[in-house]
Amino acid sequence: MADISEKLQQQVMQAYENDTPLNIIGGNSKAWYGREPQGEPLYVSGHSGIVNDMPSELVITVRAGTKLSEIAGALDKHGQRLPFDPPYFGEDATIGGTVACNFSGPRRPYAGSCRDFMLGCTMLNGKGEKLRFGGEVMKNVAGFDVSRLMAGSMGTLGVLLDVSLKILPHRLAEQTVVIDAGFKQAIKLMNHWAGTPLPVTAMCADGNLVYFRICGTPSAVERSMRDIGGSIYEDGKAFWKDLREHQLDFFQSDAPLYRLSVPPAAAFEPLAGTTEHDWFVGWGGAQRWLKSDVDFAVVQSYAQKLGGHAKLLRGGDREAEVFPPLAPALMALHKQLKHSFDPKGLLNPGRMYKDL
């Protein structure tokens, strides 16, 4: 545990003075995400530790280099958790990298994303100026919430120093049930149960089975299991963790991995050149994983026809664009934001898009 904010500030100020691009590195567990990193390393993992833990207020403030495992351990002592179920993708994963990527787990459609639980942050802009946005209570995040703008910005707007997050209690009971179903039937089932008040906190399908995670009071879980039917999946907790961390057999492939975001009820028809074995459906139908050598432009066009978009999550050509293309007006807005926070374009240059 250490506060090295002054050291980091001096490094960023020096980089600004010398026009030196910086590659922001925390636990380096997500270096594969986005376009190829560029610039001199700026290590922030040493800036770690819990700044303020307020169990009764359901808020925690931590330095950006704090490991997710440390945060989970501290929250677990009070029967609490990060609601967005963040994936680690490595034991050195930090909260700063998680926020920068806006990564959330299987619970995301039912609880919210990482961005939704951001209350405030302290950051360094591209000049090395220390800025504070938001606070540690919900009433401080009215209006244009700059702290949430940091979530998903991939470090292109600033170097996170600390973040304040809303937390929630653990559920009292949890159970997973499965039903035999192909993708088309699974999507119908998931959309049906998503439209009910049952405490379903995760749904996915692998082409053979559809999985439902139910969390709540013991009585509510039992009642929901009877309503949904199917059979109990005995190792449910391990399954959802493996899905979150991409440790399921489906993800053990050298082929490029695409992530498609589409309307949950969008029809399932395998893209030409792929089979059902190349797909996995999560988030109740809204997230569809594809492992394939099909060209990114083809996958993007397919996703757009379904009313969504696609990104190249892992593998493939990372020198090219890997995120969905932006409309000219939206790209212009991104560039204006980038210039406002990082006038010389030195922070994680090109990590999201070539021109950012």
50-54, strands of its sheet edge to edge? 50-54, 59-63, 159-166, 118-124, 130-134
pLDDT at 143 over 70: no
- 158 and 16 together in one domain: yes
Mean pLDDT of 1-28: 96
pTM: 0.94
- Please count the structural domains in the chain: 2
Same structural domain for residues 109 and 186? no
Residues 26, 44: contact at Cβ < 8 Å? yes
pLDDT beyond 90 at 86: yes
Is the domain of 178 the same as that of 155? Answer: no
CB atoms within 10 A of CB 63: 26
More confident residue, 146 or 209: 209
Q: Kindly compute the dihedral angle of the four CA atoms of residues 221, 227, 233, 239, in this order, to the nearest 10 degrees.
A: -70
Q: What is the pLDDT of residue 215?
A: 96
Residue 319 placed within a domain: no
Q: Which position has the higher pLDDT, 119 or 141?
A: 119
Q: Could you tell me if residue 81 is inside a domain? A: yes
Mean pLDDT, to the nearest integer, of 135-140? Answer: 62
* pLDDT (mean) for 116-139: 89
Domain annotation covers residue 129: yes
**DSSP reduced 3-state for 5:** helix
Identify the pLDDT of residue 1: 74
Is residue 246 one of the residues assigned to a domain?
yes
Q: What are phi and psi of 333, to 5 degrees?
A: -65, -40
Q: Over the stretch 320-331, which tens digit does the pLDDT of each residue have?
A: 999 999 999 999
For 296, half-sphere exposure in the C-beta direction (CA atoms, 13 angstrom radius) is 20
Look at residue 241 and tell me if it is in a domain.
yes
Whether the predicted pLDDT of 145 surpasses 90: no
Q: Are residues 117 and 264 in the same domain?
A: no
Q: What is the mean pLDDT of residues 111-135?
A: 95
Q: Could you tell me the residue range of the domain that residue 134 belongs to?
A: 5-169+337-341
Tens digits of residue pLDDT in 243-260: 999 999 999 999 999 999
Residue 249: inside a domain:
yes
For position 134, what pLDDT does the model report? Answer: 86
| Residue 132 pLDDT > 60 | yes
pLDDT over 90 percentage in the chain:
95
Residues 297-328 as b or e (16 or more Cβ within 10 Å = b): eebbebbeebebbbbbbbbbebeebbbbebee
Instruction: Evaluate if residue 309 carries a pLDDT over 90.
Output: yes
